Amino acid sequence: MSPQQLAQLIIEYRYWILVPLAIVEGPIVAFVAGTLASIGYFNIYGLMVFFFARDMIMDAAWYYAGYFGWQTAFAKRMLVKMNIQESHIKEVRDLWDKYPARTMFVGKLSYGIAAAFVAVAGVVEMSLVKFFSYGAIVAIVEYVGLLLLGYFFGNAFGGSVAGIVDNIQYAIAGALALLSTFYILRWWIRKKFAKDQEGN
């Protein structure tokens, strides 16, 4: 579905369509909803609560899918398809144990494979307190950021429905470019820091 079609659907059905769309494609829907909040289609604070709740519910569903379902024949077939072996489970368990915040941050923001990362947290039986605490922090950072970014772009288009629908693809491209720049800079700074530490 193109960004324009997504925007049109949300404009036409508002909250009724927001729930199913958010389950399938949370981050992009949050961004589009944020742009529409800038012209009064949604309450921006209501959207923040909605997307936070959506993320927590989805995380719980995937966690328990991993926790209870990873020993089933279906789950094992999926692990084989993703080239994940029993030895990998131990490595991932170590990642969750040693670097829970970093693993949650990278996992949940990995577009397209976030659900698998979260399910593996259930497979390795990560502490629920840690899981939901770090998950909540990432959800707030991710969705508040996307909603505010969408709100900013919505205002930049002159605050009109036509302007938003016509330019939504450019807004999404711009947002992705900003996020990519952030990740590249973060990677470069961390690499430079690691190199400086080795030199000392």
State how far the Cα of 69 lies from the Cα of 62, in Å rounded to an integer: 10
Tokens standing for 157? 């288009």
- What pLDDT, on the 0 to 100 scale, is given for residue 23? 80
| Residues in contact with 125: Cβ distance below 8 Å, sequence separation at least 6, in sequence order | 67
Summarised one tens digit per residue, pLDDT across range 127-181 is 888 889 999 998 998 899 889 988 887 777 655 565 666 666 666 666 666 666 6
Q: How many C-beta atoms lie closer than 10 Å to residue 69's C-beta?
A: 15
Give the dihedral of Cα atoms 159, 55, 190, 180; nearest 10 deg. -40
Summarised one tens digit per residue, pLDDT across range 76-131 is 666 666 566 666 677 777 777 788 888 788 777 766 667 777 888 888 888 888 88
Helices 161-199, 26-37: inter-axial angle, 10-degree rounding: 130
pTM comes to: 0.71
Tokens standing for 176? 């992705």
| Residues in contact with 148: Cβ distance below 8 Å, sequence separation at least 6, in sequence order | 34, 44
State how far the Cα of 186 lies from the Cα of 168, in Å rounded to an integer: 27
- Are 3 and 168 a contacting pair, CB within 8 Å? yes
State how far the Cα of 146 lies from the Cα of 140, in Å rounded to an integer: 10
- What pLDDT, on the 0 to 100 scale, is given for residue 121? 84
State how far the Cα of 47 lies from the Cα of 93, in Å rounded to an integer: 34
Spell out the domain ranges in the chain.
Answer: 3-195
- Are 117 and 110 a contacting pair, CB within 8 Å? yes
State how far the Cα of 26 lies from the Cα of 109, in Å rounded to an integer: 11
Classify residue 26 as left (phi > 0), alpha (psi -120 to 50) or beta: alpha
